[in-house]
Amino acid sequence: MKMLLLGIWTLLALIPCPGTTEVLFQVSVHPNQALVEFGHSLTINCSTTCPDPGPSGIETFLKKTQLSKGSQWKEFLLEGITENSVLQCFFSCAGVQKDTALDITMYQPPEQVILDLQPEWVAIDEAFTVKCHVPSVAPLQSLTLTLLQGDQELHRKDFLSLSLVSQRAEVTVNVRAQRENDRHNFSCRAELDLSPHGGGLFHGSSATKQLRIFEFSQNPQILVPSLLEVGMAETMSCEVVRVFPAQEAVFRMFLEDQELSPFSSWKGDAAWASATIQAMETGDQELTCLVSVGPVEQKARKPVHVYSFPPPVLEIEDAYPQAGTDVNVTCSGHVLTSPSPTLRLQGSLNLSAPGEPAWLRFTAREEDDGRTLSCEASLVVQGQRLVKTTKIQLHVLYKPRFQESDCPGNQIWVEGMDQMLACIPEGNPIPALVCIWNGMTFDLEVPQKATQNHTGTYSCTATNSLGSVSKDIAVLVQGLHEGISSSTIFIIIIFTLGMAVITIALYLNYQPCKRNGRKRTHRQKEQNKGGERQFSDIQAEECHAHLC
């Protein structure tokens, strides 16, 4: 009986129990952790410890190709991996199937990082938005986005806590603009940390964008007279205060449709520009100033009235009359003046009626030589009284004459000192002076060292185109100590030097008059024979110009 039981137990031991084969073989896959870049391929090896495996393979929705196999392994190529997936590797052994899973993680580095700054120009105290997004990156849970203002961290965001439905690789922050933010650079940095998946750390950065801050709260102002004279250059200014940045304010200025060429400047928070305007047509016109700072442009307009008011016309019948003759003067408004002006002629007793000329008639005297005649025209334009004046200098011609103050009849020279005969005749044209001493012409241009021989009477004659006049001058030469006190000698020396300087100065002015007179005489004779009086007038004008 014991032998029978022992046989039964031995037979039962030889019969395999269900599930006994399952623990006798293993299924494995290599690599055991798969990290694949987007679009790339992966080679896997699926193997078993079963000595005589049955059916085997892999299960995946990815495109697969078997590369090779052995008795206990198979190798596959997975192509075009574009998303995460789970692969099953299975083997059967003695009718029992066993499998193992492989998690395939697809990653995509942050190659493109885009920063959006809205708007790029922001008014002070207004909000602006800084947004960063990465169009293609995976896995999102491994991504960190950091917004930077210069080198300072503005905001950081990771994506660990986001639901799968709302996952987007972007970060947004709103900031209020301050003046000190102007020209600050903003950027975005992306980091993809794959170390938990057996990979490395990938970096990506956006292009830098610059924020511009502006302030432009007040309208520009145009500074220019409300009345402009046609054809006359005038300066137009345009200015704006409380503007930032003032140095970047751009000015454009117009007179009607004509664009001007402004020159701009700035200081602090003020900017201004000026341009030269020249209106060529009369009537009402408009000036425009456009000022832009960043994206904002403001405009100012100012109406102006353009008028025509040339100086009045002043005419003298004879600008070079002889003393004792009548002079007729006429003052009239210019034909381009509208409306007609009111005229006032110097010396005339009454104002002329608007549009009527003013007249003056008088007898020329020697004292009138060099007299200035003026004609004043007044015009009311847009409620403003405007005045224009024209002036002409009168040249009265008269014969030569000697004044005792300018040509003393008695003169004392000091022996041994340089002396000149002091005599300046009057007359217009300026007379030529010739002095005779001892039957010879005395040189009036060169100082003489006085000796007793210079004592005597000098006969001087002044001549111009209207006549001549003569005068005798008695010269007495005294010794240095001949009854003359030291103070008297000093006075004589000072007087003599002064007279010498005056005589030389007058001579230097007189000589060009003579030369110019001769040149002009020849030219006038060629143009108009017999014009002796005209020659005298021209010579007088030339000489008077030198003396004045």
Can you tell me the distance from the alpha carbon of 108 to that of 55, in angstroms, rounded to the nearest whole number? 36
Please, how many CA atoms are within 13 Å of residue 166, restricted to the half-sphere of its CB? 6
Residue 101 pLDDT greater than 60, yes or no:
yes
What per-residue confidence (pLDDT) applies to 9?
35
State pLDDT tens for residues 74-92.
999 999 999 999 999 999 9
Tokens for 534, please give them.
């005209």
The percentage of residues in the chain with a pLDDT greater than 90, rounded to a whole number, is 66
Which tens digits make up the pLDDT trace of 451-508? 999 999 999 999 999 999 999 999 999 987 554 444 555 555 666 676 666 656 555 5
pLDDT tens sequence across 314-339:
999 888 999 999 999 999 888 888 77
CB 243 within 8 A of CB 268: no
Among residues 294, 240, 289, 226, which one has the least CA distance to residue 268? 240
| Neighbour order of strands in the sheet with 114-118 | 114-118, 127-133, 170-176
> Domain 313-394 - what CATH class?
mainly beta
Single-letter code of the amino acid located at 376:
E
Model pLDDT, residue 24:
82
Mean pLDDT of 10-18: 38
In terms of Cα–Cα distance, which of 182, 180, 173 is closest to 153?
Answer: 173
Chain mean pLDDT for the chain: 84
Kindly state the average pLDDT of the residues 163-175.
Answer: 77
Say which residues have a Cβ less than 8 Å from residue 256's Cβ, sequence separation at least 6. 285, 286
pLDDT (mean) for 414-442: 92
Whether omega before 429 lies within 30 degrees of 0, making that bond cis, reads: yes
What tokens does 188 get?
């975005």
In the predicted structure, residue 541 carries a pLDDT above the cut 90: no
What confidence score (pLDDT) does residue 266 get? 96
Give strand pairing partners of 355. Answer: none
- The C-alpha torsion from 520 through 526 and 531 to 533, rounded to 10°, is 10
Cβ contacts of residue 483 below 8 Å, gap of 6+? none
Task: Report d(CA 357, CA 251) in Å as an integer.
Answer: 47
Q: What is the pLDDT of residues 187-230, one digit of tens each?
A: 999 999 999 888 899 999 999 999 999 999 889 999 999 999 99
Instruction: List, in sequence order, every residue forming a beta bridge with 326; answer none if it has no partner.
Output: 363
For the record, the structure tokens of 358 come out as 């003013």
Q: Is the pLDDT of residue 122 over 50?
A: yes
25: Cα within 13 Å, side-chain hemisphere: 23
For residue 278, pLDDT over 90 is answered with yes
| Measured CA angle at 386 (ends 385, 389), to 5 deg | 140
Note the pLDDT of residue 344.
Answer: 87
Kindly list the distances between the CA atom of residue 302 and the CA atoms of 239, 285, 286, in Å, as whole numbers in the listed order.
13, 9, 6
* Fold match flag (114-214 vs 399-478): yes
Q: Indicate the CATH number of 114-214 among 3.50.50.100, 2.60.40.10, 3.40.1170.20, 3.30.420.40.
A: 2.60.40.10
- Model pLDDT, residue 342: 85
Bridge partners (DSSP) listed for residue 329: 316, 360
What CATH number does the domain located at 219-303 have? 2.60.40.10
CA dist 151 and 149 (Å) reads: 6
What pLDDT score was predicted for residue 163? 56
Are 165 and 188 a contacting pair, CB within 8 Å? no
What is the reported pLDDT for 495? 62
Q: φ, ψ for residue 109 (rounded to 5)?
A: -65, 155
Identify the weakest region by mean pLDDT among 54-58, 142-146, 345-349, 503-507: 503-507
Cα separation, 306 vs 230, whole angstroms: 6
CB under 8 Å to 489, separation ≥6 — which residues? Answer: 414, 480
In contact, 73 and 63? CB cutoff 8 Å: no
Question: Three-class SS string for 151-163?
Answer: CEEEEEEECCCCC
* CA-derived radius of gyration, the chain: 57
In this prediction, residues 285-302 reach a mean pLDDT of 95
Average of per-residue pLDDT across 250-254: 96
Measured CA to CA in angstroms, residue 58 lies from 61, 94, 101, 380, 487 at distances of 10, 19, 10, 107, 141
Q: Mean pLDDT, to the nearest integer, of 115-127?
A: 93
In this prediction, residue 534 has a pLDDT band, given cuts at 50, 70 and 90, of very low
Q: What is d(CA 328, CA 168) in angstroms, rounded to the nearest whole number?
A: 100
Q: What is the model's pLDDT at position 11?
A: 36
Half-sphere exposure of 164 (CA within 13 A, CB side): 1
How much is the average pLDDT of 402-418? 93
Fold of the domain built from segment(s) 399-478: Immunoglobulin-like (2.60.40)
pLDDT at 70 over 80: yes
pLDDT value at 517 more than 80: no
User: What residue spans define the domains of the chain?
Assistant: 27-107, 114-214, 219-303, 313-394, 399-478
Token pair belonging to 391: 């002036």
Stated as kind and residue range, the H or E segment containing 532 is: helix 532-547
Nearest to 170 by CA among 133, 215, 144, 208: 133
In this structure, the strands spanning 170-176 and 85-93 are: unpaired
For residue 312, cis peptide bond before it (omega within 30 degrees of 0): no
pLDDT tens digits for range 347-369: 776 677 777 888 888 999 999 88
Kind of pairing between the strands at 127-133 and 170-176: antiparallel
The CATH number of 27-107 is which of 2.60.40.10, 3.40.720.10, 3.90.1150.10, 3.40.1780.10? 2.60.40.10
| DSSP code string of 369-435 | TTPEEEEEEEEEETTEEEEEEEEEE---BEEEE--TTTS-SEEEEETTSEE------EEESPPEEEE
Q: How far apart are CA 37 and CA 486, in angstroms?
A: 122
Residue 21: per-residue pLDDT: 41
Query: For residue 433, what pLDDT band results from cuts at 50, 70 and 90?
Result: very high
Q: Which amino acid is at 129?
A: T
High-pLDDT (> 70) share of the chain, %: 81
